[in-house]
Structure 1
């Protein structure tokens, strides 16, 4: 039966799961795939690859319990994927996934291939699959790109995938061509390139390793070996004591070809033992390893049981790597689900439920809108990056303030209809409004004065002239203010839209916006327009009225400014400079100057009165403009609109008089759809919460439950275990294949500064950090270093240091620094006393570049160098313990695009006697001296940075209950006890409370004596 095969597979593969935490976590990850989490954590897969007849299928049979085809020569003609899933039923289904290049007809035919299998029928299904793929019969092709997928489900199966691949070969023969070899190679390497693949590279001991290309492919595709485990098969086929056996033993010891996960040895079934059961096979394997040279290896490297243990640790590690990202995504998903549930609200099919729902929305909306117009952004609703448009639309007060500021500036610049300039001046904006010279303008004023002449004396003017000049000048006020009204209305509308999006679902929001919010805001906008027209009407129709003494001052300022300009113009004509800039030695023609001033003050009655009228009109315009801007901002915008916004939904009409669009909030078909939406969202939220619980439980109980075998390994595991207080960071210094001597010297000096919390590699490494940081992550994990400093030099980027910071041995951020070779000085070049190893420096950063509120190269440099020199946290500091200073300064930014240079200096601190209570402190430069120019940088991802900055809850200060302090400072503690029955207290060990014979009247004693006599 299909269930028998599924049960057998489950029993064989259950050992690949490490613990119940591991199993539960993988189950929840698998259940979250329909909710969009699968792009972070995929099903892990183990691919078994190697040369032909190297024992791949036998290895897979040992791991899974399925009897894959085994024979001499090519027996695996296509990829076989064994997909193991957790489920309530015991079943095994087999189907074919068509390969690339298949026609549409072939794809339909192969997709229709489906079988349910048990252990006996499995060989028949393999033969049927070969026939369906076209691999059977005369003239058939040898290999196929189609994939045979075996999906096995059982309650105890792990969620993973095992892949059996065709064997690699080089030389062609009558059955296999060169094209077949290229097809197999591409098929194998494509699986190797998949990041979720754990490569089980199989080599056979009876064949020289040079003839087995799988190791070359593994090194090329996985150069750091973080996904590769080597497997040596057929150790019983090699002659005992031969050089070949010695070579493969050394290979298993990870000497000849080093892999991160090392090597494993497995004895396969032979032709004579093909029918052995799994127990018999394991017994033969154990007996062989006990009586051979292979017993010199560690027991964890021998046999199929140990192989399952090693694979389960590798599988769990792969899940760990994706866990921080998926946890962050799950937390965001939980938040979104809760927000969506809050928006959907409770069921509201009755009129009473509708009204209660509207009241809740109205109350919350009033609170949020009030906070938005008051500028109090402490609510979670306003939490977002301030520069984002969405957050800006939520913060109504900030939006209104910016709109009014722009309105005031526009009124000052573009509020006048005519710009008046002197004859030698150029207008500011000829395309925005008309302009005229002062002489031309005064001619128009004279014409207006003639038309408005009344009883005024010569040299004076009719007050109506000022009114006419002002009304002509302030005509643009109306259009500019109407645009202001529309902008404020749009800002309020956007804020209401954002608030309702937070409080209810999209359907309810659209109905409320259409039925209540938009009509209410439309009425408020009309009231605002009426108020603006009320303020604007006096300026356009009524004669000027003001009692502001600034009017006279403005007239005087205008006239004095014009006289100063005329005087400067005359002095410029006389001596080529103004009076303020002319030197004392320059001669001035006083006669010419006096004649020019006399010409300016020549009495012309009409010109004088027109000039005075123009000056009074300009002065009144300035006074009226300021008053109008304040009236519109305060008495119109603020009073008629902004302060009335919180009551938009507070005074809604009764439910029976609501608009139809609002009254139909949830009726008919919409009700069932919303109910289904609530159920789906609740289910998603519960699954995500379960995942968060499983992942937290896995972290609490340890992601790796290996028990240490010695005190040394125990200390190593405890050192790597998570801690509440972060350890000082260990820095790894290494260099690339091309590295100048200057960079090497800089790495050595920085290494000496950081000792003993530093490590340094002397060999070259082929690493390009900004292209691939996989090698750096591998070195970080292997050496337990959370910071790396990589030195390189090239023609394009000479003398480069790249600082890399990791979190959980994954790249967090990195910064590229270019060292100036001219100013660089080593420590040895300074003839001063050196610092002691292990002491902590005092760090000083100077320069505005390091204090930028925006994250950039300089703030990252500051953060990285603080982390580099940071030690354990100390409560108190003795100033005499500060032995040296690390000074980092940056030049002040200039106007050009050049980035400021960073200068690193180190100074030795010495204290000497001063004859006073405080010693004399002297500093002396001790080196190294480095100047850097910043280059490329990689900023941290938001989810990784948030996880790196997360503080454990155990470090938070707990509230003390039942403890109080009186006025004298004495602590008082309360202990709450239940009712105490002294008769039921256990007193058998308290001699002082034992009952006395005299108190009980000797009754108990008599009973005891009677019992003793009966026993005798």
Structure 2
């Protein structure tokens, strides 16, 4: 029985580890999937399960990594690790040779050209000696744009000293266990000639980025020479993992302790001081003297076993001391972690694919070549035309017209026409015409000529002002023309208001329709800018038409073939005669007085002419007013605003117009913005690379992995379908 009631070989309670899970092919495939995810950039969008080694400088982190990976990590005093390094071990088939492949996984923060360049960094080795490893680190730093090791501060180089890129070292061989670990730069506080306080902050930021990830298992390395609470790594680990569920502690350099201090470290190793869910391990690595004496890694293992076989260290559980036990535990811990996180990982990937679909839908199809640009515009124009003609004809069927009054252009124009007619009828004349309906009206003509508020007064004034060569009792024809022009003076104002209202309605309708058929904002704005030229030309023609109608009505000759004019005028004259006769007083014997009758129907030349001018003007005005309103509605609104011809503003976006665009014009209208093109390329590249992952997701004998394979298979089919749809 070991410490805390835990049996030797038993995992820490709560770790969830089970022996024998994902052995063999299934386990290998699961780790391959995660690695391929990372290689293909999925880690840029979602976090992946990983084991990260973190420690203060001089904590023995590099020596521990050397013991775990058998790679010759540099242990010099200068700052060597300036980027994360992922070491991946995979077991190959028996008889296959050992292979080592070194690549760079680019950071998500770099540009596409930089990412492409870094992906091209590749080195192959049969074995990786110390000099080879040093050269690889140097070459990788050069590729990442970092200054040379050991001269950073001395040269005053102000460029980047650390990188978010990841150096990946993949070791494949028949004798390897499946294992993966990420090394990050060591934490430090004190500045040296090789590293500044600013560098320390940058390293801390980089480390936090890894350990704050909920899918990261933190392998916290601490020197036995110092209190764990005083070491920076545990402060950061505590902040990132307050309950210690993701943190495993490793104590190094127990052989360097002063005699009598062993009890303090043993107490920590038994999980009694800094309590972690996965507990603690103690390892003894090569010392500086061992390295100087050329102690090999195999000899290191022998010395470590001998060290922990002596008291007081042999009181610790055998499965909690030494690098062999640590590596076995880490492998099982990582396998279990990956197994538990994988379903959630796939769910997040599906969510990202859905987001990518929505984003690509917003971006729209590719518009890089003239053929693509014309094809897109033709599709949009056809959709526009089908909806536009329905709006013009008042056939409000379809989503565009549902519950949106501003889209029902025919209804809005009809309302405006009604309002225009009402304004002309009620307010289009300068003064009201006099009714000829009572005897008093007839008798008051002479009196009204002196009343400035009566139209008779205005007629009398114009009658005298227009006297020409005509004989007494006759009327100069210019008199009625001038009076009509005066009486219809408000037509211009009301017709221009009506014009502006129809223009605003049409503009809003076109804008809403273009936006509806073209949801991409950049394309919509450029299309509108081009269409606005055609639209303004149509509005200019409509304005010319309106002015022509106004000029014809108000400044041309007075002309009508409308029979109602003669009828109205005849009726007015008859009424004047009838009401004049009604005013005659008959004799006591009922005999009509001829002189009284003659006096009643006769009046002075002035009164008679003014009455006649009034009746002619009134009859003609009513005919001209109705004609004018109809002409504005038909010749201006219908012909120029709601025309079904392709030069009409409402129908200007047509396939015929698109077909006539030159290559340069197509580029101006539908050419894709560089940022949009780049973004689409990024999305396509991601979907393309992720689609290729189907080759690595194969169901095995394990039921859980089979279910995961089915999920991933469906996801891959979706990705491939979606990718080819937008190529």
Q: So what's the TM-score if we normalise by structure 1?
A: 0.38
Task: Choose between structure 1 and 2 for higher RCO, CA contacts under 8 A separated by at least 6 residues.
Answer: 2
As a proportion of its length, which structure holds more strand? 1
Q: So what's the TM-score if we normalise by structure 2?
A: 0.50
Q: Compare CA radii of gyration and give the structure with the larger one.
A: 2
